[in-house]
Chain A
Amino acid sequence: MEQVLTNGVYLGAQYALIALGLTLIFALMNVLNFAHGQMYVLGGFVTYTVYGQFEMPFVVAILASAVTLAIVGALVEKFLFRPVLKNSEREESSMLLAAGLAFFLDAVILLLFGEKQRGVPKIIDGVMNWDFLIIIPYDRILIGVLAITFIVTFILFMQYSKPGRAMRALAQDKVAAQLMGVNVTRYSMLGFALGAMLAGIAGGLLVSIVGVNSGIGGPISIKAFMMVMIGGAGVISGAIAGGFILGMLESIGLTVLVAYGDMTYLLIFVSLMIFLSIRPQGLMGKPWG
């Protein structure tokens, strides 16, 4: 039992980090970024290159992932989403753009990094064994702690910094925020960069545990959407709750259901459908979106 919970928390922290970026972009711009998983993969490959290939320190690699994805996010907002959102009044336009971007990034990643599964040397060796109740490798503990640290930093930034407050205000009432002097263009770009950066950091952290390959972008996006739907779209606390719930469900499922074959995700999807039919706005979402 303790083992299951520990795995759940570890997985949940990773997932929450992924979901946060997705929900931030949705809250600020009303854009469903289907390319979020690809941004995660790109972050993974940057860390793989910097840490695995160039053998620089892991911290430097994570930083490189963060910066690269922040730049990619900013450029994507400026040159793709901004003109489309400005010129089109239909929501589908930005969705199609995001879907197209996902395929485009898939192709770019395949071209640059190939189709092989890539891993990196362990960041620390050894396994913690707590009385055979909890057995967990040290590197997983480190990655879990790092993920939680990033989540907490992000929350503190959103809650107490001036740009964070402006982004929350922007998400709640765009016109009112504009009337307070918030430059919507600049803050949308900042928000998109930040969201992409969180995906990149998550990809970079996880490459040290599960590796990365060019095909997992889509599935990661789907998981991220599930978390956001469980928690409630556009709500920070919802993304975190959704991440930990999915992590926990997966951890429990993999332990309990292992005897019946790989049906964890089947059950998760079924329960999600039932849950959403009862509470379409998710746990903490606002009913109006």
Chain B
Amino acid sequence: MTTQILNFEDVKLYYDHVYALKGVSLHINEGETVALIGANGAGKSSILRVITGLNSLTEGQIYYQGQRLDGASPDEIVKKGIVMVPEGRRVFPFLSVKDNLMMGAFSRTDKAGIKQTLEKVLVRFPRLKERYYQSAGTLSGGEQQMLVIGRALMAKPKLLLLDEPSLGIAPKLVQDIARSIVEINRDEKVSVLLVEQNSRMALSISHRAYAMATGSIALSGLSAELLEDDRVKKLYLGG
């Protein structure tokens, strides 16, 4: 039997004088990669903002591992094991790569464990090891994306939220990053919620997907099936 790690029940978010989410229900199973696709302004980022506690929802409930999640503060949510990689990378530009990674482990206190995770992250992204003492602001876009994913892994998440990891990254590197996401999900048993405008990439590396339009879920299903779905092809994959 599959257990759900995250569950949205009719979540509404009123934000900036409009309903950014008009009643969204969705779930993520333990160990799953779920993609959330849709155009700009469809409400994908709002979903991430209510999960991480950056916005408080207006109506509805969110459950995480069976416990009520909404109402907790962002730092409490990180401690529970939900970590987000924000859109646009957002490294700490004047901190070294090392300090950026250590910031990822901010919510942890087990020194030996942190060291172990750090070694694992540096094996996964060897480029970060080469640039270990460099300021993060001097890294290329692709390297910064690796850094923010590595930084999130330092928190040892149970649920990893990725906001547009392919945005502004060279096509060759998009493949590398897609491969890392698959490996992280498979090897570390981390559940993943992947928000992407690059729908083809998102559908090809996820188990299930939700397609959003103007604040609600328009379609959902197995990613492999959605890739073949005519409506999805037309609306989200560009013909």
Chain B: minimal CB distance from A237 (Å): 10
Interface: B128 (CB within 8 A): no
Q: How far is B158's CA from A144's CA once the two chains are assembled, in angstroms?
A: 51
- CA of A165 to CA of B83, assembled, Å: 19
Q: Nearest-CB distance from A26 to chain B (Å)?
A: 15
A254 at the interface (CB under 8 A from B): no
B94 touches A181 (CB 8 A): no
A179: contacting residue among B86, B91, B93, B102, CB under 8 A: B86
Whether B75 and A181, one on each chain, are in contact in the complex, defined by CB atoms closer than 8 angstroms, is yes
A178 touches B75 (CB 8 A): yes
Is B54 within 8 A of A169, CB to CB? no
Q: Is the CB of B94 within 8 A of A172?
A: yes
State whether A176 touches B75 (Cβ < 8 A). Answer: no
Given A179-B52, A181-B106, A181-B107, A172:B74 Cβ within 8 A: no
Q: Are B102 and A165 in contact (CB under 8 A)?
A: yes
Check B78 for interface membership: any CB of A closer than 8 A. yes
Nearest chain-A residue to B89 (Cβ)?
A176
A182's contact among B54, B75, B94, by CB below 8 Å, is which? B75
Q: Is the CB of A176 within 8 A of B99?
A: no
User: With an 8 A cutoff between CB atoms, is A2 at the interface?
Assistant: no
Judge if B14 is at the interface, Cβ distance under 8 Å: no
> Contact at B103–A165, with CB atoms within 8 Å?
yes
Chain A residues within an 8 Å CB radius of B93? 172-173
A175 and B107 contact, Cβ closer than 8 Å, known pairs A180-B151, A181-B155 = no
**Given A168-B94, A169-B92, A172-B92, residue A180 in contact with residue B104 (CB < 8 A):** yes
State how many angstroms separate the Cβ of A171 from the closest Cβ of chain B: 9
Question: Given A168-B94, A173-B90, is A179 in contact with B99 using a C-beta cutoff of 8 Å?
Answer: no
Q: B95 at interface (Cβ–Cβ under 8 A)?
A: yes
**Interface pair B86/A175, CB less than 8 Å apart:** yes
Give the Cβ gap from B142 to chain A, nearest Cβ, in Å.
Answer: 18
> What's the least CB distance linking A116 to chain B, in Å?
46
Q: Are A166 and B103 also in contact (CB < 8 A) when A172-B95, A178-B75, A179-B74 are? A: yes
A41 to chain B minimum Cβ distance, whole angstroms, is 33
Decide yes or no whether A183 CB sits under 8 A from chain B.
yes
B84 close to A (CB within 8 Å): yes
Kindly supply a per-residue 1/0 record for chain A positions 114-133, scoring 1 wherever the CB is within 8 Å of any chain B CB and 0 otherwise: 00000000000000000000
Report the bound CA distance from A31 to B52 in whole Å: 27
**B120 contacts chain A at the CB level, 8 A cutoff:** no
The answer to whether A181 touches B79 (Cβ under 8 A) is: yes
Report the bound CA distance from A182 to B83 in whole Å.
12
| Nearest CB on A from B90, distance (A) | 4
From B78, B99, B103, residue with most partner A Cβ within 10 Å = B103
The distance in angstroms between the C-alpha atoms of A181 and B95, with both chains bound, is 17
Question: Does A67 belong to the interface (CB within 8 Å)?
Answer: no
Tell me if A146 counts as interface (CB < 8 A to partner B). Answer: no
Does B73 sit at the interface, judged by CB under 8 A? yes
Q: How far is the CA of A169 from the CA of B99 in the complex (A)?
A: 9
Asked if residues A168 and B95 are in contact (CB atoms below 8 Å), the reply is: yes
Q: Is A162 an interface residue (CB 8 A)?
A: yes
| Residues of chain A lying within 8 A (CB to CB) of residue B73 | 183
| Extra pairs beyond A168-B95, A172-B92, A180-B106 (4, CB < 8 Å) | A178-B54, A180-B103, A181-B74, A181-B78
Interface residues, chain B, CB within 8 Å of chain A? 52, 54, 73-75, 78-79, 83-84, 86, 90-95, 99, 102-104, 106-107, 151, 155
Sample of 29 A–B contacts (CB below 8 Å): A165-B95, A165-B99, A165-B102, A165-B103, A166-B103, A168-B92, A168-B95, A168-B99, A169-B92, A169-B103, A172-B93, A172-B94, A173-B90, A173-B92, A173-B93, A175-B90, A176-B90, A176-B91, A176-B92, A178-B54, A179-B52, A179-B54, A179-B74, A180-B78, A180-B104, A180-B151, A181-B155, A182-B75, A183-B75
Q: Which 6 A-B pairs have the closest CB atoms?
A: A181-B107, A181-B78, A176-B90, A183-B75, A172-B92, A181-B75
